[in-house]
Every structure is written in C-alpha cells, then in structure tokens.
Amino acid sequence: MATQHDGLLFFEPCFVPKIWGGRKLDREFGYSIPDGPVGECWAISAHPNGDCKVARGDFAGRTLSELWSDEPQLFGGTAGEAPAQDRFPLLIKILDVADYLSVQVHPDDDYAAAHENGSLGKSECWYIAEAEPDARVMIGQHAHNRDEFAQMVADKRWGELLHEIPIKKGDFFAIEPGTVHAVKGALILETQQSSDVTYRVYDFDRPQADGTLRELHMEQCLDVIDYDAPLKNSGEVTAPEVDGITKLMTCKYFEVARVRVRPDAPVTLAQDHPFMCASVIEGEGGTVTSAGSDACRAEKSELSRGSHFLALTGSGDLTLEGDMELIVSWVPES
C-alpha cells in the first residue's frame, strides 16, 4: 500500500494591491496584508501571477502548480501521467471592493488562447459576503452592437450604457465571458477559471499613485462583449437549501454551492470529485474532518473565517461542525 498523505491542503494566500481596494482583508479576516489599498486575496491558486504555497503538512512549501504537475494522483490522475487538464483549472479569491472596479469584460477560452498567449478565458461568479448600504453592481449593458457601444463610450453616456442594480449580502451572480461588469462596496468570494485576463472599458479617470491612468483595452472589449446577453435584475438566491447545502450554479468549468453549518446541525459533504475547494466566509468557525482512504489519512482541522482548503481525491467525505458558512466548488464531470 502506498504511503498515506494529508487529504486536505491549506495554503498561504497571495495578496494583490488594487486602486479600488481597501483594508477589510485585514480587519474582517485577520490576514497580514501589504500596506495601502489591497483588493484581492488569491486564496487557492496555481496561476503564475499568484501561485499559492501549501502552509503545512506533508507538502508544506510546495506550490499548487508543482503538485498539479508532479503529483497528479492527488487530483485523480495516474502517477507518472499529467492530469486531464494542463493546469489547475480554478482560482478562488476574496475581493475587497471599496471603490468601483474598472468597468471590464473577460474573454472566452478561444479568444484568450488566440490573443493572450494561450491563456484560459475567464468565466467567474460572485457570492456577496458583505455589502455596504449603497453597494452596487454593474452587470450587463444596453448597446445592441459594437458600433453603438463604441459611440456611447465615446460620448461618455455611462448612465445609459451600463446596467446597474443594488446588491446585498447573500446575493450571487454568474458572470460569463462577454459580460460587462463592475461592483462597489462589497466583500466578494469569487470562483473563476484560472485566468488573469481583464479588458477595461472605463476606469473612472482615476490616477494611480504615480499620477498615470491605468490602461484601457477598448478594441479587445469591443471584440469580446456579448451584445445579446440578457440583463440580470437581481442576485437573489432562489435555489432550495437541502441539509445545509444550496447549489448556486453549474457550468462546464465549475459547480458552486453554499454550505451553512450550525452548532446543532453539522453537514456532511460528499467528496467524490478529483478535488474540492472550500472557503469559510462567515461565522465563528468550526472544524472539518475528512474520512480518509487508503491514500489519505483521516484528519481533523480547525477552521475560522478566512480559512481556505483543498480536499484532494481520496480525502473521503467531509464532516463540517461549528457555526460557519462556506462556499465550495469543484469541476463537473465532463
């Protein structure tokens, strides 16, 4: 029998300063972050721009990209063979959006592969963990075609062009490639493809620390915007909660669920996927216990708000106890 290993991986997050960021990643989650406005916590990532290291256990100090490449059996592959995908496919973030994100749009896989050195496209989704009273999301736009969009931008008719709605804690938005979007006044758990390609339409004419403006990408934006995308008027979650679990969305890249754990109502999560990402976004914390298998030791770990972990293949079902809310995600079977 092969030597057993930890079935749960905990990571050292990577932090990204942003002109629109704040300090809530420190105040709300207790992270040690750089000085100044910090907008993003890359919590589970193997992307070259933020490759997370394992914080403890058998694989401490190794990056997620190294494990994906060198230890494919951890993710359901066969030792000596590459996993089914050439890179770890997901990226889990927390966003602290104190001021508006740039008005932006992301490409799909085909466009990104052709124009961004083989990058993945960027499908993503947002779970609103906290929202200020005046929090807003811009999601979608009113132009009917490329020429009309370009003219409305040139005329700075932002109020006519952009579809903006209020948001509240607990809202959820799927943001497909081609969707023009921005947001203000929220803490967000973002699940996305492992991509860092963003095309900016407008950045509110904000100067950076050195006085310059950030680059805009109008031609790329005009190329990738989905002018026929239906508008969304609410982020209300209407899916039923069953045994503490609410399925938020399914697409070809990821499935996402919310898990609510209460002191008198532990939750068991079936872990029958190559891997499962989990993030504690609310509550006082608790524990996660993996059942273990021939490959993975059974283990129990403490969790608190801001904990993120990856349950590897063979970790066994997960028992969550305590008082907390999590967002979990995995790659659907093809």
Active site residues: 200
Closest CA to 315 of 277, 261, 262: 277
Exposed/middle/buried for residue 180 (C-beta within 10 Å: 0-12, 13-18, 19+): buried
- Our measurement of the distance from residue 299's CA atom to the centroid of its chain's CA atoms, rounded to an integer in Å, reads 26
CA distance 62 to 299: 20
CB-based contacts of 295, cutoff 8 Å, min separation 6: 2, 4, 5, 7, 73, 313, 314
Closest CA to 332 of 258, 268, 250: 250
- Tokens 């993945």 -> residue: 120
CA distance 95 to 254: 19
- 198 contacts 106 by C-beta, under 8 angstroms: yes
Which DSSP string corresponds to 188-212?
Answer: EEEEEES----EEEE-TT-B-TTSP
CA distance 134 to 38: 20
Strand partners, 34: none
Closest CA to 256 of 117, 124, 105, 164: 124
Strand partners, 108: none
Q: Where are the alpha helices (DSSP H) in the chain?
A: 24-27, 64-70, 109-115, 146-154, 158-161, 218-224
